[in-house]
Amino acid sequence: MPAGTTPIFAAAPNVSWGTAITTANTAKDGTGTVVTCFTAGAQGSFIQRIRFRPAGTNVATVARIFINNGATNATASNNTLWDEITLAATTLSEVAALSTYELPLNFGLQAGYKINVTIGTTVAAGYAPTVIGSDY
């Protein structure tokens, strides 16, 4: 990787998201159907956190966060399971807010690396993942 030319303090915000996740993927190695919700910039990125926002009524599930080295996720050795977060069942309401789930990440990501997510149980409305970070 070439040396960075932008000072760390001049990092550019990078907020990225993936499509709402509705379909289960029980593979624990990052293979199968994943949603890519962040790709690191040309000089790498710093990932602060990931948020999961329910899109309506869902059964309980778990979200799994994988780091991918920028190559195909179909090869298990290109992925690592970084963390998981339980997503409780939700019921859509017009008078009460649905809970947002947030997981701190706080790590640097090499150029071209990706954050992929899956869920363990198929849900009806889905969960929208959003990554808050910055590019170096």
**Any domain includes 127:** yes
Is 50 a member of any domain? yes
pLDDT at residue number 114? 98
What pLDDT does residue 72 have?
A: 98
Which among 117, 20, 99, 116 has a CA at the least distance from the CA of 62?
117
Across the strands, what pairs with 13?
134
Judged against a pLDDT cut of 80, whether residue 119 lies above it is answered with yes
Note whether residue 76 is domain-resident: yes
Looking at the domain assignment, is residue 5 inside a domain?
A: no
In a domain, 80, yes or no: yes
Q: What pLDDT is stored for residue 9 in this prediction?
A: 57
pLDDT recorded at residue 89: 98
Identify whether the C-beta of residue 12 lies closer than 8 Å to the C-beta of residue 135.
yes
Q: Residue 77 corresponds to which tokens in the numbers above?
A: 């050795």
pLDDT for position 7: 60
- pLDDT number for residue 62: 98
Q: CB neighbours of 93 closer than 8 A, spacing ≥ 6?
A: none
3-state DSSP of the chain:
CCCCCCCHHHCEEEEEECCCECCECCCCCCCCCCEEEEECCCCCEEEEEEEEEECCCECCEEEEEEEECCCCCCCHHHEEEEEEEEECCECCCCCCCCCCEEEEEEEEECCCCEEEEEECCCCCCCEEEEEEEEEC
Domain that holds residue 78: 12-135
Domain assignment present for residue 102? The answer is yes
User: Does the residue 37 lie in any domain?
Assistant: yes
pLDDT at 5: 63
Residue pair 78/30 in contact (Cβ under 8 Å)? The answer is yes
CATH number, domain of 46, equals: 2.60.120
- At residue 10, the pLDDT reads 58
29 domain residue, yes or no: yes
Number of domains in the chain: 1
**Res. 125: pLDDT tops 60:** yes
Token look-up 């790709």 returns: 39
Show the tokens assigned to 51.
């948020």
24-79 residue pLDDT tens:
999 999 999 999 999 999 999 999 999 999 999 999 999 999 999 999 999 999 99
pLDDT in tens, 82-111: 999 999 999 999 999 999 999 999 999 999
